[in-house]
Chain A
């Protein structure tokens, strides 16, 4: 049996093993490759950076544990930037587990800057109803949001009282893994109330957002773990995203090698025929 025949009929599990090694080894032995910053990520950074002190940023965690690995680093990096700039964070989620995951990020970042719950940041929890809810939220926050995620009346917090409608919100950052998510924020919130929207999405969803970037409906975009790593570079922290970049580099390289091999086999089979 020829070596090319053998590769052609390779067991899927060998491919899986090679991918696993390509992920694990660079995590154990980091290469420290430099991270370049793309324009959509810089645009988000510049937008957050240009907000005045005490401005209100809605951070909407529209993802679940499945995308946690990809989107939590982005959440942490954005929160890091907001708290450093002394912006107020209004955290929520269109997916049930989102605010829980957001809370973990808040607990990790807020104490570093001595930010106080209810004054500098608040978590209003999961908001069901997707598009319908977003429309009502923009119109009248007080009517929709009565309590924070733990059930404490929203009026008992200064930040809870400060947000009455979409007009009090300076920027929305959606960490989006699907529906409801970034598209709904654009259609049902930004288009209606004119609020600026920035997004961090899973890498799979990122290409889909480019039409909204070029039309200006999105301020900027953090695509996948790479986007989060770029943001970490901009806010000068090294989090989980930057640590994952070496693995991602090697896996992408491996995929290209697989594709090239697949095509060599194709050429070989064609010639044999």
Chain B
């Protein structure tokens, strides 16, 4: 029973939502909407599980003095600070807003801007004309990189036009190809999941 009940739930709800997509009757629509709302409800509950896990793992680390346990103290302190600021002042409260604007925004932007550096080191290492295909890719990349910024326009007025063509024609064609394959793969996987053939995501192996 423990094995089959989840599979029955997946099968019944999955096929119901697929069928409801084709049937505009009110009852079907509201039922399928209700199932989707349940998901949102369950999702909200998991916020607590997440917080509980953070506290548990880090408290354990501090207690047992595992390596780098000092970082866990900082993490828990800020967790309490941010939550406290939110509870006391609300999301529009002064301290919460201050922390958001002056800590979270710059920290997020810092991580994101690492990309600029990593793109450079990855480009230096990986963009090499080892095969004819790689050479083609390389040339296209250089044209798009230069043509995308004002300096390209400054060097040659025709650059942006060439870039638009590359983006609109070869790029779109390749992307569509990958998306097509991926979406078919997705449908095939969905069917495996719905029919209970694929169950390793539930922790069950094949028998």
Contact = CB atoms under 8 A, between A and B. Distances in A.
A and B: direct contact (Cβ < 8 Å)?
yes
A261 B167 contact: no
Nearest to B108: A65
Contact of B168 (A36, A210, A254): A210
A249 B123 contact: no
Contact of A132 (B36, B104, B123, B167): B36
A132 B33 contact: yes
A262 B112 contact: no
Nearest to B151: A249
A19 B117 contact: yes
Interface string A16-58: 1011100100000000011110110000000000000000000
Contact of A16 (B101, B117, B176): B117
Contact of B145 (A15, A104, A255): A255
A258 B160 CA distance: 22
Contacts of B37: 132
Interface in B24-83: 33, 36-37, 39-40, 44
A68 B105 contact: yes
A253 B127 CA distance: 15
A252 B160 contact: no
Given A249-B149, A249-B150, A251-B116, A214 B168 contact: yes
Contacts of B138: 259, 263
A20 B120 CA distance: 11
A69 B112 contact: yes
Contacts of B157: 36
A255 B112 contact: no
A259 B121 CA distance: 10
Residue in A226, A254, A255 with the greatest tally of chain B CB atoms within 10 Å: A255
Nearest to B179: A211
B111 A66 contact: yes
Contacts of A86: none
A262 B128 contact: yes
A211 B142 contact: no
Contacts of A271: none
B124 A15 contact: yes
A18 B146 CA distance: 18
Contact of B148 (A34, A39, A246, A252): A252
Size category, B interface = 35 or more
Nearest to A233: B150
Contacts, number: 138
Interface in A127-185: 128-129, 132-133, 135-136, 149-150
A245 interface: yes
A97 interface: yes
Contact of B124 (A104, A128, A136, A262): A262
Interface string A68-106: 110000000000000000000000000001001100100
Contacts of A235: none
A165 B148 CA distance: 38
B120 A254 contact: yes
Nearest to B128: A266
A191 to B, nearest CB: 12
A250 to B, nearest CB: 7
Contacts of B36: 132
B188 interface: no
B43 to A, nearest CB: 8
A128 B154 CA distance: 44
Given A132-B39, A249-B149, A263-B129, A64 B116 contact: no
Given A69-B109, A214-B168, 15 more contacts: A15-B117, A15-B121, A18-B120, A33-B151, A100-B97, A128-B40, A132-B40, A211-B179, A253-B146, A253-B151, A255-B119, A255-B120, A259-B123, A262-B128, A263-B129
5 contacts: A15-B120, A36-B150, A133-B40, A249-B154, A259-B141
Instruction: Give the 9 A-B residue pairs with the shortest CB-CB distance, closest first.
Output: A65-B108, A249-B151, A33-B150, A65-B105, A66-B108, A66-B112, A132-B36, A249-B149, A36-B153
Interface of B: 33, 36-37, 39-40, 44, 92, 97, 100-101, 104-109, 111-113, 116-117, 119-121, 123-125, 127-130, 138, 141-142, 145-146, 148-154, 157, 160, 164, 167-168, 171-172, 175-176, 179
